[in-house]
Amino acid sequence: MSAIEILGIEKTYSVGFWRKRPKCALKPLHLQVEEGEVFGFLGPNGAGKTTTLKLLMGLMYPTAGTAKILGMEIGDPRMKAQIGFLPEQPYFYDYLTAAELLNYYGRLSGVPAKELPQRIAAVLDRVGLAANGDVQLRKFSKGMLQRAGIAQAILHDPKVIFLDEPMSGLDPMGRREVRDLMSQLKQEGKTVFFSTHILSDAEALCDRVGVIYQGELRAVGSVADLTAKVHGKTELTWQGAIPASLKALSADAKVNGDTARIVIDEAQLDSTIDTLRRERCRLISVNPVRGTLEEYFLQHMNSSNPGSAPLPKSKNIESSQGASA
């Protein structure tokens, strides 16, 4: 059983006051996330990430399609007892203290009253708010609010945790803390599904990512696979001078002491190595310079051509996955 199974869920609104025009926020989405995975849902603002999360949480109703979490339909209270959710930029009840907030949420999640106090203390400690348990949330900084948010998401020890832009608005230290928390959750075997438009975070944390753009899922796979799709570059270093022919190839060639270095497209790798051998340059290293998701985005997202990038299948997913967008 997958932790999350999204089976063609879609959402269309009608906008406009007099003449209603349909607007598609999310095209039919098919996605599976396995237990224990950390899945990053990537896309620029307005791509449909929050819409997807809201549909999964039952805050919005899909126009078509269904989804299952831990094998149960969305909206099933038994399912909801086993998930945690952190919405984007939450304010929470600013007149409550952190402990009171968690107490409230704990009661709503059905945590037994006897266990609540210890759970609250443990969770506050875990997110680093142990000292601020009795401070009113209105006095919390952004980073503290975010940590409180994670606290309420994990308080009832859920199996799947959904986070909407968990890093947004945080300073680097805050982001580091949240990232560490998320790694810990992974180590505990929890499934984490989070959305972000910050690619470096996804790269650091995720087992797999899904890329969504203009309401459509464009790619799913491990970061490595996706960045491999970025036309990668290779870095070559060798001893000796730069042959003339190579200079023409790339203006990038540099000389450091007696080591020369050049970065070229993968496609030109073979011909460059041949050239260096002919010139009798001594090869020191050949390193692939991995493309980043950034570059993947820039390369693929500019095409507003739906379905232009076929879903590269990762080696660890079963091909029971549905048809592409």
Partner 1 sequence: MNSRVSAIASNTFREAVRDRVLYNLIGFAVLMAGAAILVGQISVDIEKLVVINLGLTAVSLFGVIIAIFIGIGLVSKEIDKRTLYTVLSRPVQRWEFILGKFFGLAGTLVVNTICMAAGVFLAMLYVTHKLQPSDASVLAALYFIVLQFLIVTSLALLFSSFSSPLLSAVFAFAVFVIGSFSGDLREFAGAQSGASHWVAMAAARIIPNFSGLNVISMVAHGEPVAANLIFANTAYTFFYAAMVLCAAVLIFERRNLK
Site residues for partner 1, 180-209, by CB under 8 A, read none
283: Cβ contacts below 8 Å, ≥ 6 apart: 236, 237, 238, 273, 276, 277
Under 8 Å between Cβ of 63 and 26: no
Stretch that binds partner 1, among 35-43, 81-89, 188-196, 313-321 (CB under 8 A): 81-89
Nearer Cβ to partner 1, position 42 or 163? Answer: 163
Build a one-symbol-per-residue string for 50-79: x at contacts with partner 1 by CB under 8 A, - elsewhere: ----x--xxxxx---------------xx-
Helix (H, G, I), strand (E, B) or coil at 35: coil
Nearer Cβ to partner 1, position 69 or 325? Answer: 69
Nearer Cβ to partner 1, position 153 or 212? Answer: 153
Nearer Cβ to partner 1, position 93 or 312? Answer: 93
Helix (H, G, I), strand (E, B) or coil at 39: strand
Q: Is 95 in the site for partner 1 (CB under 8 A)?
A: yes
Q: Is 104 in the site for partner 1 (CB under 8 A)?
A: yes
Closest approach of partner 1 to the CB of residue 3, in Å: 16
Closest approach of partner 1 to the CB of residue 298, in Å: 30
320: Cβ contacts below 8 Å, ≥ 6 apart: 32
Which of 22, 46, 110, 312: binder of partner 1 (CB under 8 A)?
110
Which of 66, 89, 259, 271: binder of partner 1 (CB under 8 A)?
89
Closest approach of partner 1 to the CB of residue 30, in Å: 22
Total of residues contacting partner 1 (CB under 8 A): 35
Under 8 Å between Cβ of 231 and 292: no
Q: 268: which DSSP letter?
A: G
Amino acid (one-letter) located at 14: S
Nearer Cβ to partner 1, position 60 or 263? Answer: 60
Which of 91, 115, 231, 254: binder of partner 1 (CB under 8 A)?
91
The angle at the Cα of 84, spanning 127 to 29, to the nearest 5 degrees, equals 130
Query: For residue 164, what are the β-bridge partners?
Result: 195
Alpha helix segments (H runs only) across the chain: 49-57, 77-80, 98-109, 116-126, 142-154, 172-187, 199-205, 223-229, 244-249, 269-278, 293-301
Closest approach of partner 1 to the CB of residue 79, in Å: 8
Q: Is 87 in the site for partner 1 (CB under 8 A)?
A: yes
Q: Is 92 in the site for partner 1 (CB under 8 A)?
A: yes
Stretch that binds partner 1, among 2-10, 31-39, 101-109, 259-267 (CB under 8 A): 101-109
Q: Is 93 in the site for partner 1 (CB under 8 A)?
A: yes
The angle at the Cα of 110, spanning 109 to 113, to the nearest 5 degrees, equals 125
Q: Is 24 in the site for partner 1 (CB under 8 A)?
A: no
DSSP characters over 174-239 = HHHHHHHHHHHHHHTT-EEEEEES-HHHHHHH-SEEEEEETTEEEEEEEHHHHHHHS--EEEEEEE
Stretch that binds partner 1, among 147-155, 181-189, 217-225, 281-289 (CB under 8 A): 147-155
Distances (CA, A) of 178 to 150, 167, 173, 244, 278: 8, 7, 9, 50, 52
Note the residues at the interface with partner 1 (CB under 8 A).
Answer: 54, 57-61, 77-78, 80-81, 83-96, 100, 104-105, 107-110, 149, 152-153, 162
